[in-house]
Structure 1
Amino acid sequence: MWSKQWGNVCMGCVALLLTACTVVDLDENGKPIMPVDPNAKASFDNQTPQQIAQQTWQPRVIDAANQHALDSNALAKLLKTPTATPQSVFVRLTSPVERVDSSNAREQQLVINLNGEPLAIQIGPVIRGNAIRDATGFKFEDFTNQVQFAQLSRAYNREAVKHLPKVDASWAGKPATVLMAVTLNSGQLQNAAALALKQEAP
């Protein structure tokens, strides 16, 4: 009697355990594929700034910029209502190129017209500022290794240059579409950095 009851209890436990189990898919090596926790914070503890920049370039920079880039009108409105602290945003503009400034070979700039004013956009090979990093939404507290956060700007700036086409004086006078990151500070545009450039038909 006791043995039969104990057996029934054991069978009930097994059934309960099986019911609580979740079927997990296996990879090609037979190891379980665990779903990604959507609330988990990305961990960059063991990665270099260069690795972080390369890994996140498409989703955090290009995809985000294409989805959220401001046009010239939205940018103008934002400039009229400056925030207390600098903010960086993605912007997409199509404008004739006024000139290509190569006076400093290491810090070349593409100059376009924005609402009647010239806007110099950095095209490298050296890009300065934190516009790209800060436009992604990354914050200081996202990183346990704060050196990574400090150096991520330079890594992103170098990554941007890798994806830009060769620009020379022949671009002057021709329309171009520029996807960029820029910092707004006290109603002024600073450290505009090109993410993608495309010549348009005249």
Structure 2
Amino acid sequence: MRTRSARATILATSILCLSGFTIVWESERAEGEGPVVVATDETRMAAYAEEAWDPKVLPQIAEHEVPLADLRAAVARDAVAAGEQYGFPRDGETSPWNFAVSGEGTIVEAKLESRAAKLQLDTDADGKGDVTVQLGPIIRGTALRDAMPFIVFTDFRDQIEFAKLANALNAVAHSRLTIPEGDVVGQTARFEGVFALGRGIASIELVPTKLQIGE
């Protein structure tokens, strides 16, 4: 009884973090049913990210999206004012501003064979890459998670679960992309996505939510 009570407490806590899962006790399964699949942090966060993507994530990006050229000009005038005007709400003054941007640039470098595949784009016509478009499947950073105002740390069990949510959202972004093939250097790439203003507006690491090349 004590063991079952502990299991119930743990699983109930998991449900508070993510709806949509049904607990079926081993003794309650109908004869002939397959084994119960135990939800891990990874599977629960993956399900959360998939469920939230179309109804919540994409509308937030559309609401906050700004042309990259406009954002650059605003940051050059006053970075704090630009954040307040264009950025997503942030968690404290020490947190970086996260922005949703759209733009286009010429591909000056492409690493497509790596699991951390990426493109370097020249978006200001100086011949140098100034936007890194992360294609994945390995995508660095937590900008996509941190940008979403409906995602609150205290709604999750701990920092480990919260980190896995960031990975899950990045994975959904990757899954929605069509990864280019062949030599794409010199082609035009049009993009939408999210980034954190960490090292400055001159060097952006973008998590893309839309990407179109050469059309």
Q: TM-score, normalised by structure 1?
A: 0.67
Percent identical residues: 21
Match status 1:70 vs 2:80: no
The alignment of Structure 1 onto Structure 2 pairs a total of residues equal to: 157
**Distance (Å, rounded) in 2 between the aligned partners of 1:144 and 1:132:** 16
Change (3 A) 1:106 1:56: same
Greater strand share, structure number: 1
Q: CA RMSD in A?
A: 2.3
1:144 CA drift (Å): 4.0
Give the equivalent residue in structure 1 for 2:117: 108
Which consecutive segments of 4 or more residues in structure 1 shift more than 4 A?
A: none
| Range with bigger deviation, 53-62 or 145-154 | 145-154
2: CA distance between counterparts of 1:170 and 1:59? 35
Alignment of 1:138-177 (within 5 A): 138-141=151-154, 143-146=155-158, 147-177=160-190
Greater radius of gyration (CA): 1
| TM-score (structure 2 length as normaliser) | 0.64
What does residue 123 of structure 1 align with? Answer: 135
Q: Distance in 2 between matches of 1:136 and 1:57?
A: 11
Aligned to 1:187: 200
Please, which runs of 5 or more residues in structure 1 have no aligned partner?
1-42
2:212 to 187, 192, 198: 198
Question: Secondary structure in 2 aligned to 1:170?
Answer: coil
Relative to 1, partners in 2 of residues 1:97 and 1:55: Cα closer, same or farther, differing over 3 Å? same
Q: Residue 185 of structure 1 aligns to a residue in which SS?
A: coil
- Whether contact under 8 Å (1:100, 1:168) holds in the other structure is no
**CA shift for structure 1 position 170:** 3.2
